[in-house]
Structure 1
Amino acid sequence: MILSIRKAAKVAIIAGTLLAVSCSKPSSDAPEPRQEFSIGWSIYAGWMPWPYAQQAGIVKKWADKYGIKINIVQVNDYVESVNQYTAGKLDGVTVANMDALTIPAAGGKDTSAIIVGDYSNGNDGVLLKGTNDLKAIKGKQVNLVELSVSHYLLARALNSVGMALTDVKTINTSDADIVGAFASPDVKAAVTWNPQLSSMKAQPGANLVFSSADIPGEILDLLVVDTDTLKANPKLGKALAGIWYETVALMQRQDTKGKEARAAMAKLAGADPAEFDGQLSTTHLYFDPNAAVAATSDPALITTMKRVRDFSYSKGLFGGARSADAVGMSFPGGKTLGDPQHVTLRFDESFMKLAADGKL
């Protein structure tokens, strides 16, 4: 089974500590041009193009073009991969938008999202037993991974029917335990992601009452890179964009080569091709760089990140910050959200645009 473990749980203390000790100013020792870089990844359907590209020689092809070496490094635990990036052990990492904000950015690490790869389009969902009416969730205990994208999804679901998180009681349940917990007659409501979501939907009486497909574009999966490293080494951004778009173009093909690529990705993820294709069906991949540039430049992204930011701040994921504005974000066109003097998360469409314009 594919393990989708995009969660921010258990990192609030780490982010808070980093925020407290960081004055969030650029380092006086600016990075110099380098020849070798490491990019971390963890298993998730939308991120499997990266290890496949390494296996298929696509990484080497683009790295050679720019005279550099790129190591695509698997980290078995998702949160650990983001922590390693935040600590400077990796130059870039695959990460969800909420976690990019609450871990490296909130910790003062200036981070650039250079590839908006996909959004969850049904991979995350709210389940109720015995009813298909979301409003019936009021007053219930809801099992989920607290402080994760599941918690955010629950907040958005409740908001859609005029309720708030105070109308339910959340029960922190790990992704490893949630399928078994939902099988208990005492558990009537849960929020989770695939592959657990698929298993739980199959349980008797289970109904999917809200999913990430109801909030398209809000749970984003990104490739982020250290901003100072990127400034000193723009060829890294160009190579990564080239790798990504060549690989996703291949995987969407319906011929033998495309099927072989998806089957290889499934194997790397520990799944069979049917399972992998099933998860891709609820993952909106941006195969076309023009679409990715448009999504990144759309004002709707600012609205999404404000929602994510406000939720994260309300749950203490900005450590000791005095307001949600403490962590600044920048977007295409010079637009900012939060403190413009403390921008640590940047949505940079420039490398995706080079791909769209055929200038890589």
Structure 2
Amino acid sequence: MLTRKTFLKSGAGLAAAATIAPALPARAATKKKFTLAWTVYVGWMPWPWAAQQGIVKKWADKYGIEIEVVQVSDYATSINQYTSGMFDALTITNMDTLAVPAVGGVDSTSIITGDYSNGNDAVILKGKTKFEDIKGQKINIVQYSVSQYLLDRGLQLHGMTERDVRLVNTSDADMAAAFLTPDVTAVVTWNPIVEQIDADKGAHNVFNSSQIPGEILDLVIVNSKTLDANPEFAKALCGIWYETLGIMLSDTPEAKKAQAEMGQLSGTDYAGFASQLKTTHLFSSPEKAADFTKGSQLIATMDHVRQFLFAWGMLGQGAASPNVVGIEFPSGHVLGDTKNVKFRFNAEYMAMTAAHQL
């Protein structure tokens, strides 16, 4: 379960491949059939559940369109396929949106700020209780993933850099078993692996994503040309999302049933799904999501993200600075190249939902 963070440095290759994909027309045509791709992750399970319950069809019918919710088995593959034009919309992190479709030249707009990791990602030491004890250690980690971003931020906040540690690239599938071996003393990983390792009496969770709230974001993005020509698609997606959240987060038997069914769809049960929800900060209302998206914290976060990607060569070959790609925010402020904006945060449709204007 939880494949969303297994984005590797191959993402730069995916972006490069996307640049040789057939070019989209300067303006996308209006159409009636749309696709949203998703992969298994606690914060994205409302989508297949909503499809099963008829909520997707209900909102699509309202706007006279069809929406197909498509599962992709591998997260990196879903990004590649979206970038090459196979899907209209995608569930993806903020970091990966910038690193792949944006760098690959595909202009994308985030229309739903869904959640942020609030403890799902963690730095765990064996037999040591303070983050500072990480200095000089070998760290098992999925390199070039959100885990490395978390480590980078932890090191920054504690006056260190990645020169103070040694990274050992390790598959997420091997992480829990590796921690049990004598040679492994530090890991950075994500749930449910964090929960498995934390159960070991020698494990100490010394830094996690709850200490950088709002930085590891899960989004729904739409191809910007498709969005401009078909705003009803975004309206339907927001309607689906917030109706579904209203059910699953209510204090009702229906909410427990919905969460249990989402758990089954993702390969776990109610208890497992509920446990992972505790370390996932879902923006429970469109008002909260829109306010966050319009706030200054998001600009600061995306600056951290682009600086990290540039430092590790993930903004494309020949990138001379983090400014190579422009990121636009609801206020109109742009980080980076104003003439090459390829990643846009849009709060309009969330605000419309909040104002009951869908």
Partner of 1:215: 212
Q: Deviations over 1:36-58 (max 9, x none)?
A: 01100000000000000000000
Q: Does 1:165 pair with 2:131? A: no
Other-structure match for 1:6: 5
2:314 is the counterpart of 1:317 = yes
Classify the secondary structure of the residue corresponding to 2:70. strand
Give me the whole-angstrom Cα distance separating, in 2, the residues matched to 1:70 and 1:174. Answer: 34
1:17 — aligned with what? 16
Conservation of the 8 A alpha-carbon contact between 1:327 and 1:338? yes
1:46 to 36, 43, 50: 43
Displacement of 1:161 in angstroms is 1.1
C-alpha contact (below 8 Å) 1:11/1:103 kept by paired residues: no
1-side partners of 2:19 and 2:307: how far apart?
19
Deviation readout 1:279-313 (Å, 9 max, x if unpaired): 00000001110000110001110100000010011
CA deviation digits over 1:81-130, x for unaligned, max 9?
Answer: 11110010011110011001101011110000000000000000000010
What residue number does 1:306 align with? 303
DSSP 3-state at the match of 1:177: helix
Once the two structures are TM-superposed, the CA of residue 148 in structure 1 deviates from its matched residue by 0.5
Q: 2 CA distance for matches of 1:92 and 1:28?
A: 17
Q: Tell me the CA shift for residue 16 of structure 1.
A: 5.3
Q: Is the 1:15–1:319 contact (alpha carbons within 8 Å) kept by the matching residues of 2?
A: no
Once residues 19 and 295 of structure 1 are traced to their aligned partners in structure 2, the CA distance between those partners, rounded to angstroms, is 31
- The yes-or-no answer on 1:239 pairing with 2:265 is no
Q: Aligned residue for 2:86?
A: 89
Give yes or no for contact 2:292–2:298 (8 Å, CA) kept in 1. yes
Distance change in 2, residues 1:29/1:156 (3 Å): closer
Count of aligned residue pairs for this structure pair: 356
Q: Taking structure 1 as the reference length, what is the TM-score of the superposition?
A: 0.96
Question: Which position in structure 1 is the counterpart of 2:133?
Answer: 136
Distance 1:20 1:62, change over 3 A: closer
d(CA) in 2 for partners of 1:4 and 1:32? Answer: 33
1-structure distance, mates of 2:18, 2:137: 35
Q: Residues 161-217 of structure 1: CA distance to partner in whole angstroms, max 9, x if unpaired?
A: 110111000011111111111111110000000011110111230000000000000
Deviation at 1:28, TM superposition (A): 4.4
The aligned counterpart of 1:37 is 34
Q: Secondary structure at the match of 1:184?
A: coil
Tell me the residue number matched to 2:70: 73
Task: Give 5+ residue unaligned stretches, structure 1.
Answer: none
SS of equivalent residue, structure 1 residue 333:
coil
CA distance in structure 1 between the aligned counterparts of 2:158 and 2:30, rounded to whole angstroms: 52
Out of 318, 326, 330, the residue aligned to residue 328 of structure 1 is: 326
Matched residue type, 1:147: Y
Q: Match of 2:275? A: 278
What residue number does 2:341 align with?
A: 343
- The change in CA–CA distance for 1:263 and 1:314 in structure 2 (over 3 A counts) is same
- Do 1:15 and 1:102's aligned partners in 2 also have CA atoms closer than 8 Å? no
Instruction: Indicate the percent of aligned positions where both proteins have the same amino acid.
Output: 47
Pairwise CA distance, 1:256: 1.3
5+ residue gaps in structure 2? none
The offset of 1:4, in angstroms, is 3.6
3-state DSSP class of the match of 1:306?
helix
3-state DSSP of counterpart to 2:267: coil
1:256 paired to 2:253:
yes
Are positions 1:57 and 2:32 aligned together? no
CA distance in 2, matches of 1:28, 1:5: 30
Quick check: 1:112 aligned with 2:118? Answer: no
Q: For residue 91 of structure 2, give the secondary structure of its aligned residue in structure 1.
A: strand
Q: CA deviation at 1:318?
A: 1.0
Partner Cα separation in structure 2 for residue 4 and residue 204 of structure 1: 26
**TM-score w.r.t. length of structure 2:** 0.97
1:256-285 Cα distance to aligned partner (Å, 9 max, x none): 111111111111011110000000000000
Q: Distance in 2 between matches of 1:16 and 1:232?
A: 24
Cα deviation 1:30-84 (Å, max 9, x = unaligned)? 2111110110000000000000000000000000000000000000101111111
Contact 2:43–2:218 (Cα < 8 Å) also in 1 = yes
